[in-house]
Amino acid sequence: MNTLLDGNRVRDQILEELRPRVQRITHALGRPPGLAVIRAGDNAASEVYVRNKTKTAAALGIASETLTPPESVTTAELLDMVARLNLRADIDGILVQLPLPANVDAQRILLAVHPAKDVDGFHPVNVGNLSTGRPGPVPCTPAGIIELLKRYEIPMAGKRAVVVGRSDIVGKPVAMLLLREDATVTIAHSKTKHLPEVCQEAEILIAAIGRPAFLGAAHIRPGATVIDVGINRLTVRAEVAKIFGADSPRLAAFDEKGSVLVGDVHPVEGPREAGAWTPVPGGVGPLTIAMLMRNTADAAEANLSRT
């Protein structure tokens, strides 16, 4: 059986479940859950992402505000901005949209966010909580991957999982979450020797290496579940034709728009070999915002328990 894992469908389920929960929190707190987003500079992709996050928050009844300091903002100015948000009682969650301007020390900014308000789950305190099985916010994309697997009833316990990619944002946390679900986990990366053979061991293959169409038939065990986290924008027509084929509708879409998105898994070979797979777009991506909303609701509930 070849199953497309529809991230949009699962996202809609999660958001629908959150709606009454947000209403209960709002009634109990006397205010809606509050989310603050810092988007520094003029990154066009960040602007789109943040707009989608605030739109989703508004639809759920979460109060959100976006702070947009200029490209010239300093580390000190951003630290002051975060410090003020940490003190605000009406802000339950703080999200610092990456990337930050090149002149800003991003690590210092992320460390400055209070762990209880860190709805991205990036603070070392929350990373430690995750690694030791304690409660706390979990990075949104890895949490979304686990949610997708659970809702499609794909077993993880006892399964061999290979995570290709070792980033702090996706690779490492999703490996820890898979361990929590009793999977047997291998982390591979660009320096792994005999990578195709390592990947062929996977009953669950997570692709998060940041290389377009990098994992193909040679990497995929027939019938495996393949989760493609990559979002790569192709802007060269020859590359699109090579990956999708000269007669593909995606090539016609490229001719119309000037670019197409492709994941880290080959979009033709991956679905052909896999038993279940996520498309790009429409797979993991939609779940990231849904899990951000859940983390914000969790943070607001934690505030409620402290009042």
Domains of the chain, by residue range, sit at 28-115, 140-284
So what's the pLDDT on residue 147?
98
Q: Is 182 a catalytic residue?
A: no
CATH code of domain 140-284: 3.40.50.720
Q: In whole angstroms, give the CA distance from residue 185 to residue 192.
A: 15
Q: In whole angstroms, give the CA distance from residue 279 to residue 4.
A: 7
Q: Is 90 a catalytic residue?
A: no
So what's the pLDDT on residue 1?
62
**Which listed residue (92, 97, 117, 228) is catalytic?**
97
Instruction: Name the token pair of 118.
Output: 């860190």
- Per-residue pLDDT tens digits of the chain, which is 307 residues long: 689 999 999 999 999 999 999 999 999 999 999 999 999 998 877 888 899 999 999 999 999 999 999 999 999 999 999 999 999 999 999 999 999 999 999 999 999 999 999 999 999 999 999 999 999 999 999 999 999 999 999 999 999 999 999 999 999 999 999 999 999 999 999 899 999 999 999 999 999 999 999 999 999 999 999 999 999 999 999 999 999 988 888 888 899 999 999 999 999 999 999 999 999 999 999 999 999 999 999 999 998 777 6
**Which listed residue (92, 117, 118, 120) is catalytic?**
120
- Whether 28-115 shares its CATH topology with 140-284 is answered yes
Instruction: Name the token pair of 107.
Output: 């690590």
> How much is the pTM?
0.94
Q: What are phi and psi of 265, to 5 degrees?
A: -100, 140
SS3 sequence of 212-266: CCCECHHHCCCCCEEEECCCEEECCHHHHHHHHCCCCHHHHHHHHHCCEEECCEC
So what's the pLDDT on residue 228?
98
Count of C-beta atoms within a 10 Å radius of residue 89? 10
Q: What are phi and psi of 260, to 5 degrees?
A: -140, 160
Q: Is 120 a catalytic residue?
A: yes
Q: Contact 270/226 with Cβ under 8 angstroms?
A: yes
By CB atoms closer than 10 A (0-12, 13-18, 19+), residue 20 is exposed
Domain 28-115, CATH number (from 3.40.50.10860, 3.40.50.720, 2.30.110.10, 3.40.50.2000): 3.40.50.10860
